[in-house]
A and B are shown apart, each in its own frame.
Chain A
Amino acid sequence: MTTLEPPVVARPTAGLSRLVDRHASALPTAAAVGILALLLVGAQVYFGNFLTPRNLSALLLDHAYLIILAVGMTLVILTGGIDLSVGSVLAFTGILGARMLASGLSPAVVVPVMILGGAAIGLMIGVLVQYFDVQPFIASLAGLFLARGLAFVVSLQSVKVQSSSILWLQSTRFGVGDWYITPTGIIAVVVLAAGAFTLAYTRFGRTVYAIGGDEQSARLMGLDVARTRVLVYVVSGACSGLGGLVLTAYSGAGYPRNGIGTELDVIAAVVIGGTLLSGGVGYVLGSLVGVLVYGTIKTIISFKGAEQSWTQITIGMLLLVFIVIQQVIVVRSARRR
């Protein structure tokens, strides 16, 4: 073998290629931000009165529960899993909460019970996935049916909420001028911030990414794969419980048929926000963008006075485009190796 001078291993990293090397995984999220900007600007140009403080504030208010669900879902998808139970858990905790409040229990008891109830179902799914080696799709499908069934056990009809402190979450508006934010919006923002911080700065968060990258490697690096994986589903369940609280406050009632298909909206938002379904790549803030894209499309369509079914058609097409973009990125990075 020839003896050679030690060659320079790293490719010369000029500005742009360095940026790409560092943030290759943020590309889909960047694309989502671009789409959101395009939607907002386009709607403003078309309608002339779209980008108003009122409208934008309502966007957050209307989708606070989706944002909360999306945070939990992002964690699950990052590990390479999926949680189909979120819509049903939302309905179950919502109706359970409404029923408990109606029977005179204090919100100080009801709220923790809702969150813990969601977490408990998440725990069940997580244990099934981690220790019984059940596919996340199947395990969370079981969670979906279980929670929906439980919701109907609690009540077949919608239950109105009279508790002032729960309704306060929705009716209070802190604001400047026409801008406002409700306590539910604040909850969503806090959950979002906590999610983003956890993923970036804690070992738990980095382990979530590591599991999505390669579970075996993560284990060899001494990361606690089992605990993290279970915890991810628990967090998603707790987020669903919290989402149930926010939705109950938003609609002023618990309803056992709430959130049918919501899990799919959430997954769509997370994917549009740039999280790879295969795991390991994605951001919580991307999921926020995904929810906002979803919400904006919905608002545009109601502005236009068109059928809401167009929302689903548009989301479907966007999803298609994004999955193709992601696939191109994945293939490209595989080829570069």
Chain B
Amino acid sequence: MAIGQSVKRKEDARFLTGRGVYTDDINRPGQLHAVIVRSPLPHARIAGIDAGETLAAEGVVAVFTGADMAADGVGSLPCGWLIHNKDGSEMVEPPHPPLVAERVRHVGDQVAVVIAETRAQAKRAAQLLDVDYEDLDAVVSCADATEDGAPLVWDEAPGNTCYDWELGDREATDAAFERAAQVVELDLVNNRLVPNAMEPRAAIGEYDPAGGNYTLTTTSQAPHVVRLLMGAFVLNLPEHKLRVVAPDVGGGFGSKIFHYAEEAIVTWAAGKLARPVKWTAERSESFVSDAHGRDHVSHAELAVDEQGQFLGLRVRTVANMGAYLSTFATSIPTYLYATLLAGCYRTPAIYCEVRSVFTNTVPVDAYRGAGRPEAAYLLERLVDKAARQLGIDRIELRRRNFIPKDAFPYATPVALEYDTGDYEATLDLALSQADWDGFESRREEAAARGKLRGIGASTYVEACGIAPSAVAGALGARAGLYESAVVRVHPTGSVSVLTGSHSHGQGHETTFAQIVADRLGVDIDAVEVVHGDTEIIPFGMGTYGSRSLAVGGSALFKALDKVVAKGKKIAAHMLEAAADDIEFADGQFKVAGTESSVALDEVAFAAYVPHDYPIEELEPGLEETAFYDPANFTFPAGCHICEVEIDPETGAVELVGVTVADDVGRVINPMIVEGQIHGGLAQGIGQALLENCVYDENGQLLTSSFMNYAMPRAADLPSFDVGHHVTPCTHNPLGVKGVGEVGSIGVPPAVINAVLDALAPLGVGDIEMPATPERVWRAIRDARAAG
């Protein structure tokens, strides 16, 4: 049984020996190098561009501007999700040209591309480009953008509003507040983050004039999506003339889902120049051109009765979209956020309003968790505050409001139907693993050392594998949300899997091979998982939202079913039995109740060498394709517990314990699953304690490099204690839910709840993420001053 085993990863062989091939590792004959000239200003009109000196510089082949692309009919980078306002009207959807011609709208906005024989030449020449900017006033924060009389990022978006959207029953929620014994209120900021996958983005465009074919090699999590968007909306290239390849990709975390301007620029320029054109971001460029994450400002209110039962939840959120609508930007603070506001709780009435605003900042889009961390953070902070306000133990308060395990399927008041879960189980597991009950003695021991020790928990639920397509479509999604898989059994019995689900660290090449090995009874080394090339893979919606296994794995499972079904027919012929009498297990087709059997490789051979074959009824070959469109989201859930020690003198927070118990559904490879949880935890802890993307009031990005954007390092983190409790997903064939994002969703509120627990004796009631030493120190000082 390959499923459930910690099989060592197949992909490691190349990564450990330096033989991974990332986009920047690829060079094409005759290749040119592109450098993007970016706006140094947050908001300005382009009065003119003088490329004279640039064109004269050594090695320069071409300079293209927005006007050149527009003149060539290049379109706008599309947004993939249409949101409707409360009144039913459509959101404001401004144009997003790959190179802007008239007005720059954030520091880093693309103004021109300089293409030269070498990268150094292009870089030098780019510095010579003379762009005449007329400065305009900028807006930066959610608060700025919504102020009366604020400068407008887009003239067509009054009040800088992209949309003003709502979810839930307002009247029922208001009524719940009217009969509440108490109302708990909380204002919070979900801090803006920079995803910072370790591999900077890169792209190579190629054009073959002989056949009129274009190839884009790019750092993408979703090459088919890029082909669809770039081909159909931006460059007007039909799919059969456009190949998109995503080779090894060095992490994405959401930031590499989107179709970016540079992909269109190098592809288009390659066509213009009939030479390959390569662009690789420098890290400082990544900071101002990769989509950022989070950036919400919210006000939340919870209505409770005397026993602590949640009666209603009312939330008002302003979400920062940045200057343009990135590919999935609009869906994040709506369908991936407000729909999760029920959390693990039976809150009967929920109403959420979200106003998304344009600002003169880098576009904001999905980053690990994408909407769900914002929901979990809001809810789990609010529950802890409610517990303090009501004088009820915070764990007990959660238990009182949990959706009980016998209540599934459970329809929330915010549009989701949870299929399964057992929130008490993961809570109990985490509490016992973390020795929650023994905490007070640890607090005392720390106090003896002059440290403030605190413990905090969060019980979260999330939604993965956005689905089904029909429902998403009705809610404004402009794409399907299925996944494809091909299982190709070769004549001698080895297997190739073609999956639309790209792997960039998640280990698909191993996990998917385990599914094949388990189902077909072949050795895992006889399975090759191929991904990332639109020329080879039928179709794919890509890797995001922890969907790969639940959706892509299910597509694979379906294709395997088809292979087995066909194999049974072939075996029936070979064994002179009825197909219905054939059983398949451990790689053997067997006539039920007999010893008569034939192996998979023999069946495959017969399928490809059909000398003795039911050719009238069955085509030769043993290859099947499946598309899987899920019936529902999956709903991983769990409990995360953090323990911190604070040095009251400096405010420094040391994370001394992280214990999690997650229900991610059935586990195929525990080693990989735990690795995914670890990584998500690190990013969630980063958000809670270290990372913060800061613009100054004029729109300049202050945290513009690793010198001042604090990435979590090894010494910033403890080891993690990871546990599982499984309730299998009820609607996909593998019973899997998804694991990529649970860490970044569950842990930020657990960290902050622990920090506030440590500070509670001093009278501190609130702190913002990241809880930096200075913020903690100030909170302590202010609380002491307040007495």
Whether A associates with B in a native complex is: no
